Structure 1
Amino acid sequence: MKIKNNDPRLMNSAASAGDGSGSSWYSIRNAAEGKPDAPIEVFLYDQIGDWGIRAADFIRDLNAADDGKRPVVVAINSIGGDVWDGLAIHNVLRRMGDRVTARIDGLAASIASVIAMGAHKVVMPDNAMLMIHNPATVAMGESGDLRAVADFMDQAKQCLIACYRVKASGMDVDTLSKMMNETTWLTAQESLALGFADEIAPTVNMQASAAMTAAVGRMGNAPVALMAALKDSAESVPPDLTSEPEPVIQAVDAVAMAALAAELCNSAQLPSVAVMRVVAVSALASEQAVRNSVNEAIAIRDMTLTAKLPEMAASLIAAGISIDAARERLFNKLVTAAGEELDATPPDETPIKPTACGPNAHSIYAQRRSPAANPITIRGLS
């Protein structure tokens, strides 16, 4: 079966930092009360996209708080995430002009570093870091399909390079490309020298979590000093003795989990978009999470076949919605196609009483005269 990869989902992230179970820290603080010149502070302390910080939410919330005049400070501590969400946020910040300052409070990695480049001014404490590398995706299909995906990723990389050169205009494309190939980590001083940062601020306490520390630890070339700082930061938070201890997060091989997702989707003959769904929904957290997500995609595909709407399989699977939500959409589609409203009133369960009627003489006589009712039987002699 030929698998097509249309609009592959690109990630520019150090690694998965969690499962979206509530570790998100994203807020916009409007400190204008009585202080007309007070800045709007935006905290991007999570992954970009998916269960983290989605561009649509960011733009909506920022527009609601922004008066078009006051300065905006975007505080960043993120391992990155979805390329397209990050590019959208980058472009929004650029359009706001010289009112925007990006402050890298700990780490701006991958697409989070691209978001920082959208600000007019980038400030880094002297213990913060910035990381750049190539975008990544999961793909499957024939050789021609994979070549097309590779070409698409090269184009996406050029988009990221263009974003970096907004700040580091003195760097040539080849040098930036080589740095991305090698997964380059930059200190505040190095970022300032190359043009990625405009100012170095005094050291601040780095905010970290066990999930972020684990994610950065799985990334190539992660500096020892950064890992130590993240570890110290996570351990410096006093434990909450009233709550249950958090389960130990076991590191998994994301590449192996992505390969398993592609293999299972291909074996089940699911649409090519199913692989992206499995990667997003399962976060490649474990083999069981991948298998559960594949089974959900299979169930949704089978529902569309039962409803005789197979053309909806790809869109419902790609949407990343639950089985119940997919069932509801199929039901609504069937109702619309029927062209009439369904009556949801429960039926009257009162039993119908039979109507009594007396004997009919004509009917009885007719039955007796009927040849079928009175067959002639010929018996042999014994």
Structure 2
Amino acid sequence: MRWNWLLRALTLLLFLEAEDPHKDIYLYINSPGGSVSDGLGIYDTMNHIRPDVCTICYGFAASMGAFLLGAGTKGKRSSLPSSRIMIHQPSGGAQGQAVDIEIQAKEILYTKNRINQRMADYTGQSLLRIEQDTERDFYMSAEEVVAYGLIDQVINPWELRKAELSTLQTASELVTAS
């Protein structure tokens, strides 16, 4: 089931690029997180395709959801005002022989370091700060996430609505005047 979802998400990103490689792709995120390997597949695809990927959080973006929110195109990462965003280190479990558990522990530490470095790159925060903040669940408001560098702006739906109405009124005036 999970594989089908990932395959659809990746296929959709590639399809939208093929449709128009110059048109922005909007990725709406309301997610408690999910598989790190799936998320990294989406992250790599977002960075592989030509269109800008605009990420918008509505509600909640945690864990891999927060990572993907920040991985959007700089200047095009946003959130609705009441959203909450949470970052933390990846988690996992291992069982079996001691040697196998050690192998899994090394792999999760490797993945943790990769994710932290990427997050430091796109937020502008130091790697040390990212490591400290992701040691445990770290919750932020939409405004705090802008200051942190994970997103670029908080979208105020009421101001957007006013702008839309203003545009409609201007268009209406042009039609009436002609």
Q: 2:60 aligns with which of 107, 129, 138?
A: 107
The answer for the alignment partner of 1:192 in structure 2 is 146
Higher helix share: 2
- What amino acid is aligned across from residue 25 of structure 2 in structure 1? V
Cα distance in structure 2, aligned partners of 1:91 and 1:118: 10
Matched, 1:62 2:13: yes
Structure 1 pair 197–52 and aligned structure 2 pair: CA distance change class (3 A): farther
- What amino acid is aligned across from residue 131 of structure 2 in structure 1? S
The answer for the alignment partner of 1:182 in structure 2 is 136
SS in 2 for 1:75: strand
**Cα distance, 1:125 vs structure 2:** 1.4
Q: 2:33 aligns with which of 68, 80, 89?
A: 80
**Cα distance, 1:161 vs structure 2:** 0.9
The answer for the alignment partner of 1:3 in structure 2 is none
**Cα distance, 1:64 vs structure 2:** 2.2
Cα distance in structure 2, aligned partners of 1:91 and 1:202: 30
TM-score scaled by length of structure 2: 0.78
- What amino acid is aligned across from residue 87 of structure 1 in structure 2? L
Residues 266-318 of structure 1 show CA distances to partners (whole Å, capped at 9, x for unaligned) of xxxxxxxxxxxxxxxxxxxxxxxxxxxxxxxxxxxxxxxxxxxxxxxxxxxxx
Cα distance in structure 1, aligned partners of 2:135 and 2:4: 26
Identity across aligned pairs (percent)?
Answer: 21
- What amino acid is aligned across from residue 150 of structure 1 in structure 2? A
Residues 91-133 of structure 1 show CA distances to partners (whole Å, capped at 9, x for unaligned) of 2112335622101111111111121222112111111121111
Matched, 1:128 2:128: no
Residue correspondence of structure 1 range 226-241 to structure 2 within 5 A: none
Matched, 1:96 2:12: no
Q: Which has the larger radius of gyration?
A: 1
Question: Do the aligned partners of 2:23 and 2:51 also contact (CA within 8 Å) in 1?
Answer: no
Question: Do the aligned partners of 1:90 and 1:117 also contact (CA within 8 Å) in 2?
Answer: no
TM-score scaled by length of structure 1: 0.38
Any unmatched runs of 5+ in structure 1? 1-19, 21-49, 205-382
Q: 1:137 aligns with which of 89, 92, 110?
A: 92
The answer for the alignment partner of 1:53 in structure 2 is 5
Paired residues in the alignment total: 154
**Cα distance, 1:143 vs structure 2:** 2.7
Structure 1 pair 99–59 and aligned structure 2 pair: CA distance change class (3 A): same
Matched, 1:172 2:123: no
Residue correspondence of structure 1 range 147-296 to structure 2 within 5 A: 147-169=102-124, 171-202=125-156
**CA RMSD, Structure 1 to Structure 2 (Å):** 2.0
**Cα distance, 1:203 vs structure 2:** 5.3
